[in-house]
Structure 1
Amino acid sequence: MPTGVEANIFKALMDRLLALTLTPAQAIAAPNVAFPPAGQTKPKDYLEVTFLPNRTATRTVGPGRQQHRGIMQVTVHYGSGTGIVVPLQRADQIIAHFPKDLILYESGVRVKVYRKPYAIPLPPQNGSLMVPVTIEYESFNA
């Protein structure tokens, strides 16, 4: 069980992503975790998670709960030769899995996806196409 608001927010979002069933399945590169695992080759198609919490804000007069906002970005990586349709379809699956107003809970922390996620494809680089999916969240906690 994580401690701290940001750790619980990340766990809630990551658990939700891990619950997404993709066909074919894709490996997930999580922040600060060796990818690929030792002894394995890097797959040409995979998901990469980036967690970007923002500064907190107090939305009340005096002491009160803090507003925690940020982004979890899930970048869809596809090797060359697949075109753009398949990576965009995979991005759409992630978007649909994190709908606007989705509420997640982790260890007493409530996390809300407050805007529909969106995907902005990047130009192909080094034989790979990347489609980052941006998931914006907020949480109010002490």
Structure 2
Amino acid sequence: MPTGVEANIFKALIDRLVSLTFTPAQPIAAPFVTFPPAGQTKPKDYLEVVFLPSPTRTRTVGPGRQQHRGIMQVNVHYSSGTGIIVPLQRADQIVAHFPKDLILYESGVKVKVNRKTYAIPLPPANGSLMVPVTIQYETFAA
């Protein structure tokens, strides 16, 4: 069980992502986790998670709950030469899995997806395509 608000926010979001089933399965590169595992080659197609919390804000006068906001970005990487449709379909699955107003809970922390999740493909570079999917969240915690 993570401690601290930011750790709980990340755990709630990453657990939700991991619960999404892709066919074929899609490896996930999580922040500060060796990817690929030692002895394996980097897959052509994978997801990369970037966690970007914003500064905490106090929304009340005096002691109270703090507003925690930020972004979890899931980069859909594709270099298998399948074209743009398959990576866009993967991105659309992630967008649908994190709808606006989705509520997630982790260790007493309530995390809300507070804006519509969106994907904007980047121009292909070096033989690969990346489609960043942006998930904006917020929570109020002590």
- Tell me the secondary structure at the aligned position of residue 125 of structure 1: coil
| Sequence identity percentage | 85
1:80-137 CA-to-partner distances (Å, cap 9, x unmatched) read 5211111111000000000000000000000000011000111111211000000000
Task: Kindly indicate whether the alpha-carbon contact (under 8 Å) linking 1:80 and 1:129 is maintained by their aligned counterparts in 2.
Answer: no
- Tell me the secondary structure at the aligned position of residue 78 of structure 2: strand
Aligned to 1:43: 43
TM-score, normalised with respect to structure 2: 0.98
1:38-75 CA-to-partner distances (Å, cap 9, x unmatched) read 00000000000000000011111111100000000000
Aligned to 2:123: 123
> Separation in 1 of the partners of 2:4 and 2:25?
31
> Residues 51-90 of structure 1 correspond to what in structure 2 (within 5 A)?
51-90=51-90
> Separation in 2 of the partners of 1:93 and 1:57?
32
Gapped regions of structure 2 (runs ≥ 5): none
- Tell me the secondary structure at the aligned position of residue 112 of structure 1: strand
1:4-33 CA-to-partner distances (Å, cap 9, x unmatched) read 000000000000000001111110000000
Aligned to 1:141: 141
> Separation in 2 of the partners of 1:80 and 1:32?
25
Paired residues, what number? Answer: 142
Task: Kindly indicate whether the alpha-carbon contact (under 8 Å) linking 2:45 and 2:80 is maintained by their aligned counterparts in 1.
Answer: no
Aligned to 1:21: 21
- Tell me the secondary structure at the aligned position of residue 55 of structure 1: coil
> Separation in 2 of the partners of 1:127 and 1:3?
41
> Residues 5-16 of structure 1 correspond to what in structure 2 (within 5 A)?
5-16=5-16
The answer to whether structure 1 residue 111 and structure 2 residue 111 are counterparts is: yes
Aligned letter for 1:22?
F
TM-score, normalised with respect to structure 1: 0.98
Gapped regions of structure 1 (runs ≥ 5): none
The answer to whether structure 1 residue 91 and structure 2 residue 91 are counterparts is: yes
RMSD: 0.7
Q: Which runs of structure 1 show a deviation greater than 6 angstroms over 4 or more consecutive aligned residues?
A: none
> Separation in 2 of the partners of 1:126 and 1:29?
20
